Amino acid sequence: MKKFFSFIILASFLLTSCSSMNVNRTIATQAVNAEAEAAVETLFTIKASQAGAGEEDFLETVQNNSTRLTNNTPIKINLIEDNNLIDDVLFKIEPIIEDNNNIIKIRYANGAFKDHAATLNLSRLLDGLIRSNFSSPHFIFELYYNAINNDPTSLHAVAKIRRSVLTPLGPDSGASEKLNSSILAEAAVWDKKLAEFAKLDKKRNAEKKALAEQRKARMAALDAAPEEKQFRYLVSIGDRKGAADLVQAYLPWEEMAPFEKRYWETHLDIIRNPAPLDQRVIIYRGIDDDMIQTPIEAGKKLSQADAILDQNIFVMSTMMTKNQGSWNRRLRSLTSMNEKFIGTDNKGSSEFTKAARITTLFSNHASKPDGSPFLSFTPSIQTAQTFGQKRISAYLIDPRALEFNYASTYAHEKEFLAPLATFPDEIAAVYDYAIHPEPTTDMNMVIQKSIIANLEKKLGETEGILTYQKVTKNSLNYFGTMGYMKFDEESIKAQTEALAKKIAKLPKVEAGKTTDKCVDIIKLFLN
């Protein structure tokens, strides 16, 4: 079991279709304490039932159920015979990452599938962990990560699911009295276990409440801070450290499970210390519905038209823009969102979603991003144009800051998420059909020319072109087969004769230093 307990700190998301790119990541090996290991062993194993084994084998039933649960998902359920299971354990559930695939391993003892009650328990438990309580089958991986890191809320959530599936079969099922008696006996065992996990969770909740009061007491002064210390202002002048420090002060750390906490810790560090421009990637966003934010230059806020013409804007998530109060006060929604649509299940409950909150937020953002703390991006300019029929933008973003939305069911969107806001140093190009006079028969060409012009303006002609070549190669390496348009040197040359002459005089360049496999957050955590 311990071989699964080395985790890579969260850096960036990507589908299995991603090609490779080296993004510097920090490796964190965590020792799982004996208490957590014992709890996980209890929660994710099924022992022989009171009824015991019969003549009939239910392997095929479990196989069919596994296919149903993972249909149209990237997740696989593998059944593996294991003669090393002890203490009457018949089944052991292990959500793992293997060969870059999301796999739920079901280890089973010889003859396990002849125990009807235990096999039924397994099928019902898999349904409870994958489908019936969650909107995405990815939840089980985040939930498992939190459980093995000894999070009381997550352990309690699994215990509740374990108990909830132990109900006797109805009279129409044809179930024997022996089978139902066995189910009820197991339910009685789990009543006691559930009470134990509930007690631990209650104790932790009391600690959370005390810490939350301390955090809230500090927020009133931050809410009323002068303009130059408000979140929007700090973003507008590119004060990354100041903006990250504010977010850190408002985040409800005491409420977070380990997975969620690591997400925010990592992203705050990336906000404070982004990769240099030549190590970033190009990504797009349609901004028809965005409230365009303009930076402060020489102490004066630019008008929207001037900022667009100057290719100098930033955008913020709907959690920030469709909210009330000071810009700092709006950060309180980082807590309140957890009990609203974006942080709850389809019944408006957070009973289970708080044990897998990042997957919850990602899943809900994909269907309805209202109130979301995230901004959506795509490596496909064509996809961006569907959300940008009036305005479209391109960004140079540190790839570690972009999380592939693995929980989205809209695969064609190739959606990546980043938290809260873009910074002025990330805008690479913006095109507004009402403001820009250029013809738009080839929007990709227009955007690429704007990116080059911006880089030349920032870095000088030669360094600007070299940087453009690096970031386009970074992007191709990073996004791989996800629909990113190939921008090799020939396609760059074809844009203008003058540009072709410039590039011809320059040395060949390689991609930026950011070159390693990009995998989604689930894979990073459980690899």
Structure confidence at residue 493 (pLDDT): 38
pLDDT in tens, 291-323: 999 887 777 788 888 888 888 899 999 999 999
Check residue 149 and report its DSSP letter. T
Average pLDDT, the chain: 83
Q: Is 8 helix (H, G, I), strand (E, B) or coil?
A: strand
What does the alpha-carbon distance between residue 374 and residue 303 come to, in Å, rounded to a whole number?
Answer: 25
Please report the pLDDT score of residue 520 as a whole number. 63
- For residue 446, what pLDDT is reported? 86
**What's the pLDDT score for residue 355?**
92
* pLDDT at position 524: 58
| Listed residue (387, 333, 267) closest to 10, CA to CA | 267
pLDDT values of the chain reduced to their tens digit, one per residue, 527 residues = 332 222 222 222 222 234 333 333 332 334 456 777 888 999 999 999 998 999 899 999 999 999 998 888 888 999 999 999 998 999 999 998 787 788 999 999 999 999 999 999 999 999 999 887 777 788 899 999 999 999 999 999 999 999 999 999 988 777 788 999 999 999 999 999 999 999 999 999 999 999 999 898 889 999 999 999 999 999 999 999 999 999 999 999 999 999 999 999 999 999 999 999 999 999 999 999 889 998 877 777 888 888 888 888 999 999 999 999 999 999 999 999 999 989 888 888 889 999 999 999 999 999 899 999 999 999 988 889 888 888 999 999 999 899 989 888 887 788 999 999 999 999 999 999 888 876 666 788 888 889 999 999 999 999 999 999 999 888 888 887 554 443 334 443 333 344 444 444 444 445 445 444 455 665 655 55
Read out DSSP for 95-133? EEEETTEEEEEEEE-TTGGG-HHHHHHHHHHHHIIIIIT
How buried is 444 (Cβ within 10 angstroms: 0-12 exposed, 13-18 middle, 19+ buried)?
A: middle
Residue 371, token pair as written in the block = 């109130």
Provide the pLDDT for residue 180.
Answer: 93
Per-residue tokens: 425: 């140093």
> Which amino acid is located at 120 in the chain?
L
183-242: per-residue pLDDT in tens? 999 999 999 999 999 999 999 999 999 999 989 888 999 999 999 999 999 999 999 999
If phi > 0 it is left, if psi is from -120 to 50 it is alpha, else beta; for residue 86 that is: beta
The reported pLDDT for the residue numbered 498 is 41
